Amino acid sequence: MFDAIKHAAANGGSAKDQARRRLHDTLIQDRVDLAPEVMEALKRDLLGVITRYMEAPEGFQEFEVRRENGWPVLVCRLKVREHQSKIASININ
Amino acid sequence: MTGRTIVVTSGKGGVGKSTTTANVGTALAMRGHRVVVIDTDIGLRNLDVILGLESRVAYDLVDVVQGVCKLHQAMIRDKHRFELYLLPAAQTRDKNCIQADQLNALCRNLEREFDYVIVDSPAGIDQGFKIAISAAREAIVVVNPEIAAIRDADRVIGLLEAAGLHRPKLVINRVSQEMMRRGDMMDEDDIVSLLSVEVLGMVPIDERLIIATNRGVPVVYDRKALSGVAFQKIAARIDGDEAVIPVANAKSGLMDRVRGLIGIDRSAFSHV
């Protein structure tokens, strides 16, 4: 039992960081009522659509459902290539 | 001028809703306001024992809405603060005994007479919760710095927003400054980043609170209690006084410390 806790501690940083990370993911699912694999599919599909029009070599830097003025808001953020050389940033709200 | 009706809720049970209601209500009364606290947890009455008024309960909320007694017959005046009244829940009835429009009418009525009407909601998110929030114009969500309480608080915040109770405010109860320092407990920043709501204050885990509750005296009367000081500051913020968010082990002012050495607020215990 205690070994299980020690094992979790060794892999995930401080207890509060683990709690925050786990809650972060759980709250996203709770807010939009989508299973994690469905969220992953959405992420993959969205990235597929965007990369048909522009290059996004690093994928999503941010992909979450926040609460803004009472409403759940899907916030995605990814870097895209501008003129094949410079990198710009776009937000989808 | 009409009073403010504020619901205290949480989703998860046992996080300190009734303790917060009792102490914030008492602290607002200590600031000179006329306050009524309403226990809507029908069947699981507890606000009466936390305020030490259990021996005076004659009639209750259900009696009032069903016309069994007059409103003033059910309202119990506090022992220490004459500005504070309790409207207790029924203990032997269930939550179907009261309708949202009945509580709503009652609160509108009380707002004419009181500066603050504080509604202590039952745990959960079903009927009793919905009735409790329907009467309020503002909401306070009580949370503990742990996963289950925060998850439930997020759900409740969503339901409050959907019901038109915008920008609910958070009370973070049972914090351990020591555990936060070690990185073993989520801190205010963590909780704010997860829930995106304003924090009214943080209340430390405090043995003195347990002792005060055992004695039936709200801990805000105990000047040595850090939890009591935290509840005072929360009440001040609700009251529009932009006091600094209480940190669990913040150094208090010189006068506070002198009063602390003397002990407790004498007016609280002289009647006991």
pLDDT attached to residue B107 = 97
Residue A73, chain B, CB below 8 Å: the answer is no
Secondary structure of chain B in HEC code, one letter for each residue:
CCCEEEEEECCCCCCCHHHHHHHHHHHHHHCCCCEEEEECCCCCCCHHHHCCCHHHCCCCHHHHHCCCCCHHHHCEECCCCCCEEEECCCCCCCHHHCCHHHHHHHHHHHHCCCCEEEEECCCCCCHHHHHHHHCCCEEEEEECCCHHHHHHHHHHHHHHHHCCCCCCEEEEEEECHHHHHHCCCCCHHHHHHHHCCCEEEEEECCHHHHHHHHHCCCHHHCCCCHHHHHHHHHHHHHCCCCCCCCCCCCCCCHHHHHHHHHCCCHHHHCCC
> From A68, which residue of chain B is nearest by alpha-carbon distance?
B196
Residue with the two structure tokens 């959405």: A42
> How far does the CA of residue A26 sit from the closest CA of chain B (Å)?
8
What is the per-residue pLDDT for A93?
56
pLDDT for res A6 = 67
Query: CA B3, B125, B85, B29 torsion: positive or negative?
Result: negative
Q: Cβ of B1 under 8 Å from any chain A Cβ? A: no
A-chain residues within 8 Å CB-CB of B185? 15-16
pLDDT grade for A72, boundaries at 50, 70 and 90 = confident
What's the pLDDT at B244? 54
Maximum CA pair distance of chain A? 56
ipTM of the complex: 0.76
Give the tens place of pLDDT for each residue, A26-36: 998 888 888 88
Cα of first residue to Cα of last residue in chain B, in angstroms, is 35
Q: Do A31 and B158 count as a contact with CB atoms less than 8 A apart? A: yes
How many interchain CB pairs under 8 A, A with B? 52
Nearest CA-CA distance, residue A64 and chain B, Å: 11
Q: Would you identify the CATH topology of the domain B4-269?
A: Rossmann fold (3.40.50)
Mutation test of the interface with chain A: which of B180, B187, B189, B196, choosing the one with the most A Cβ atoms within 10 A? Answer: B196
Give the residue ranges of chain B where pLDDT is below 70: 1, 243-272
- The pLDDT score that the predictor gives to residue A35 is 83
Mean pLDDT of A38-52: 91
- Which among A20, A30, A66 has CB closest to B151? A30
Q: Which residue of B has its CA nearest to A20?
A: B190
Q: Does A71 contact chain B (CB < 8 Å)?
A: yes
Nearest alpha-carbon partner for B115 in B84, B73, B77, B76: B84
pLDDT at B129: 96
| pLDDT tens by residue, B118-142 | 999 999 999 999 999 999 999 999 9
Nearest CA-CA distance, residue A75 and chain B, Å: 14
pLDDT tens digits, A58-70: 889 988 888 887 7
Nearest CA in chain B to A9: B184
Per-residue pLDDT averaged across A26-48, rounded? 89
Q: Is residue A21 pLDDT above 50, yes or no?
A: yes
Residue ranges of domains in chain B:
4-269
Cα-based distances in Å from B102 to A71, B64, B198: 29, 10, 31
